[in-house]
């Protein structure tokens, strides 16, 4: 799966994009070797590492560097400085994800024992099924979708496992409940529950985090009405060492697209810097390949119409194709293209405050100061 490398981007970004793939052929590896041998000394490696971390690609990039020996030259010298950093990034992430998987498996076991209707989204599902190596993709939490009426039961199950709705204190030693004002604001304005957390004794993990959601189509004010149907179509299979429930393939794909669209345009995520990163588009690209292999594009198109998320689907595919053009079938992109594409450069519409970006997509994707265009954060931080 080849990635697009616009020549106007910095050479560090071009190298990063080449390495942002789970399957790199030998031709591209040799191209990387040539770049490093000829220009590696001129690279700003601090900038490279910063962007790899910001784009949530550091473990993947690290694995590719180590697996192909890109840090070594034929003369025995190092083409990439601080190669130990990449060793720790990949293997540390693998160890961390393994520990998270063990804990999340206990949560799945408890949900199953209670008989709760649920489905797991993103995180470990993507790591195990799309990336095929638990060390490649960072995992931060476990996302669980349930019907709104089942959120108290889900919270009770987590409570029995030692989780509370709270945040870590500054000294990192305990969890404290959220303030009353945060609880009230969150209940009135956010479609997800405040996160559940539990202190963890594993090195590299401060807390285990569980997010409970009853509406995955947050770009739609009526998105919660579809949750029952989504759970009716869920499938069971191995996950985190247990038998867990996940969304049907088409629904899982549309969930990824809708989530990417929502986070890319919501003021909360824009302000926090969580609106864009390359990993989100790699998720979509890998999922596209899976959809193509299953000849499931007609089912995806029909399902997106049924759920009313065509705009989110096109938004995600359009931007993914700018980075991973070979992953998105051209015919599908053309068939899905809406008459008015003006929304592709907007943000803030969810909050009723639509604004337009002044920078093109690829430029702002790597601009750590892009949020300076907008004002303050309208949603309290948790």
How high is the pLDDT of residue 222?
78
Q: Which of 81, 109, 135 is the last residue of a domain?
A: 81
Does 255 share its domain with 242?
A: no
Does 124 share its domain with 163?
A: yes
Does 272 share its domain with 295?
A: yes
Is residue 268 assigned to a domain? yes
User: Helix %, strand %, coil % for the chain, to 5?
Assistant: 55, 10, 35
Does 127 share its domain with 50?
A: no
Which tokens belong to 315? 């938004």
Does 103 share its domain with 152?
A: yes
Find the radius of gyration of the CA atoms of the chain. Answer: 21
Does 296 share its domain with 380?
A: yes
Which tokens belong to 11? 């050479």
How high is the pLDDT of residue 170?
87
Is residue 99 assigned to a domain? yes
Q: Which residue has the tokens 């080449």?
A: 18
How many other CB atoms sit within 10 Å of the CB of residue 115? 7
User: How far does CA 283 lie from the centroid of its chain?
Assistant: 7
**pLDDT tens digits along 18-29:** 999 998 989 999
Query: Could you tell me whether strands 346-347 and 355-356 are parallel, antiparallel, or unpaired per DSSP bridges?
Result: antiparallel
Which tokens belong to 289? 């390949």
Does 36 share its domain with 137?
A: no
Low-confidence stretches of the chain (pLDDT < 70) are 1-7, 76, 189, 191, 374-382
Does 363 share its domain with 319?
A: yes
How high is the pLDDT of residue 173?
85
Long-range contacts of 303-306 (CB under 8 A, 24+ apart): 303/250, 303/251, 303/254, 304/254, 304/336
User: How far does CA 224 lie from the centroid of its chain?
Assistant: 21
Residue range of the domain that includes 222 = 94-247
CATH number assigned to the domain comprising residue 101: 3.30.460
Q: What pTM does this model have?
A: 0.93
């Amino acid at each position: 799966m080849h990635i697009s490398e616009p020549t106007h981007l910095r050479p560090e970004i071009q190298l990063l994009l080449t390495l942002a793939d789970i399957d790199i052929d030998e031709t591209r590896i040799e191209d990387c070797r040539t770049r490093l041998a000829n220009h590696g000394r001129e690279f700003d490696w601090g900038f490279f590492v910063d962007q790899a971390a910001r784009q949530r690609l550091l473990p993947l990039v690290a694995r590719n560097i180590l697996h192909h020996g890109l840090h070594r030259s034929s003369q025995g010298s190092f083409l990439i400085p601080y190669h130990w950093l990449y060793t720790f990034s990949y293997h540390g992430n693998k160890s961390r994800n393994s520990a998270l998987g063990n804990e999340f498996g206990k949560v799945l076991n408890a949900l199953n024992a209670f008989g709760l209707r649920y489905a797991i989204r993103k995180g470990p599902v993507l790591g195990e099924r799309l990336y095929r190596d638990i060390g490649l993709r960072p995992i931060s939490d476990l996302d669980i979708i349930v019907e709104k009426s089942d959120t108290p039961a889900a919270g009770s199950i987590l409570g029995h496992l030692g989780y509370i709705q709270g945040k870590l204190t500054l000294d990192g030693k305990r969890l404290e409940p959220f303030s009353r004002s945060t609880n009230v604001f969150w209940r009135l304005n956010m479609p997800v529950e405040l996160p559940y957390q539990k202190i963890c004794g594993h090195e590299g993990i401060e807390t285990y985090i569980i997010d409970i959601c009853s509406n995955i189509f947050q770009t739609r004010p009526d998105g919660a009405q579809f949750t029952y149907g989504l759970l009716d179509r869920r499938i069971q299979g191995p996950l985190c060492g247990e038998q867990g429930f996940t969304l049907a393939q088409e629904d899982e794909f549309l969930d990824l697209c809708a989530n990417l669209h929502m986070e890319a345009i919501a003021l909360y995520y824009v302000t926090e810097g969580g609106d864009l990163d390359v990993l989100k588009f790699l998720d979509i690209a890998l999922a596209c390949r899976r959809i193509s292999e299953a000849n499931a594009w007609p089912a995806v198109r029909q399902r997106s119409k049924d759920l009313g998320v065509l705009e989110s689907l096109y938004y995600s595919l359009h931007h993914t194709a700018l980075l991973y053009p070979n992953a998105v079938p051209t015919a599908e992109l053309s068939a899905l293209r809406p008459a008015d594409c003006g929304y592709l450069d907007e943000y803030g519409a969810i909050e009723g405050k639509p604004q337009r970006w002044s920078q093109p997509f690829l430029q702002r994707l790597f601009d750590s100061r892009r949020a300076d265009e907008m004002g303050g954060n309208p949603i309290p931080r948790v």
